[in-house]
Structure 1
Amino acid sequence: MKQALKIRIGGHYYAQPQHLLRLKADVNYTHIYFKDGTYKYVATTLGILEGRLHEYGFFRTNRSTIVNLSEIKSYRKKGTCMVASLANDTEVMISKRRVKDFLECHDKNG
């Protein structure tokens, strides 16, 4: 996992990847949640941010969510999918088609 000073998260906003918890899509905008409980709403798509964050230990769990793998405290199977619990007790669904990749990335980064 690569360390960065700051990356562009949208508009004039920059952030250190290790301070990010999760990102949630909202059409062509993204809610960015930080570890300290704050969040920003930026006019950058989740796909663009996924490309910028992938090398820093982030994983797209489903069509609308990206999580910081280092902030996952546990995960469990739920039907054919999985659910990951983050450090702030937020639960994120991992889609059926991404479970295998998630387990590989989590084992590699965890």
Structure 2
Amino acid sequence: MIIKSILIDDEPKSRSNLRSLLLEYCPGVAVTGEAGSAVEALKLVRQLQPDLLFLDIEMGAASGFDLLKSLTGTQNFEVIFVTAFDQYGIQAIKACAIDYLLKPINILELTGAVDKALERIGRKKENLRIKELVSNLDRGEDEQRIAIPLSDKVEFVNVGKIVRLQAEGNYTHIYLEDGKKYLVSKTLKDYAELLERFNFIRTHQSHLINFKKIASYVKSEGGYIMMDDNSQIPVSRMKKDEIMKKIMG
């Protein structure tokens, strides 16, 4: 399991040092972002939805604790404090941090803290997966639900209400039949694997569609698919024969 982390520290050298240590000694942790202040971190956490924060405490105008207060109620991540000051241990415990590391960072203490984070995050994700699996047991195919992780919550959406998904780098846009649209920090490949058994098909490197929501297949202009929501979806050359065969039954 690879977990996503953000490094939050107002000292670039400290972030660079921690990033190097994680790369060398903690292969289960991917650094997906860095921030030099609590204000910058607030935006980044909401955008990237990380599993883990490596968080400094004293960062000028707003502290690491101030950041956590700003995120109260939306917190779906774990915290490891990394600081040069040793007087904040009790506050760190009250903030439910996984660990409290002092600079300069001790490698054994770092790997120990990361191991605890991996265990806790893994358990949390497995519990979520089991909860959703159990809730799906008595549902029909179109009523099966998937979890959509948003910045402030996890929303459960009926698979049958999804019209299509579109990739944007490491993010995915999810379009529903009622016009709602979500942007999720998971790749289209992740959703393709998840939704394949629900009759979703990959028409293109950037597009995954619900086969039941196809309105028409247009053969001109190289071929494209019109969906029930009037969106026009390209069909790659490699996928054309496969999709035509599926459409023709």
- TM (normalized to structure 2)? 0.40
Q: Secondary structure at the match of 1:78?
A: coil
Q: Which residue of structure 2 aligns with residue 55 of structure 1? A: 197
Q: Which ranges of structure 1 fall in alignment gaps of 5 or more residues?
A: none
- Runs of 4 or more consecutive aligned structure 1 residues displaced over 3 Å after TM superposition: none
CA–CA separation in structure 2 for the residues paired with 1:84 and 1:68: 11
Equivalent residue number for residue 8 of structure 1? 147
Equivalent AA in structure 1 for residue 212 of structure 2 = S
Bigger relative contact order (CA 8 A; separation at least 6): 1
Residue pair 1:9, 1:49 contacting (<8 A) in 2 also: no
CA change 1:31–1:82 in 2 (3 A) is same
2:223 paired residue among 48, 61, 82: 82
Q: Deviation string for 1:34-84 (max 9, x for gaps)?
A: 0000110001100000000011011111000001111111112235x3111
Contact 1:62 1:95 in 2 (8 A): yes
RMSD value, Cα: 1.7
2:185 to 17, 40, 43: 43
As a proportion of its length, which structure holds more strand? Answer: 1
For the pair shown, which has the larger CA radius of gyration, 1 or 2? 2
Shift of the alpha carbon at 1:8? 2.7
Query: What's the TM-score once normalised by structure 1's chain length?
Result: 0.86
Match of 1:22 in 2: 164
2: CA distance, partners of 1:106 / 1:7:
26
Shift of 1:106: 2.8
Give the structure with the higher percent helix.
2
Deviation at 1:13, TM superposition (A): 3.2
Structure 2 stretches of 5 or more lacking a match?
1-139
How far has the Cα of 1:88 moved from its partner?
1.5
CA shift at 1:91, angstroms?
Answer: 0.7
Aligned AA (1:36): D
Q: 1:43 to 1:73 in 2, by over 3 A?
A: same
* C-alpha distance 10-48 of structure 1, shift in aligned 2 (>3 A): farther
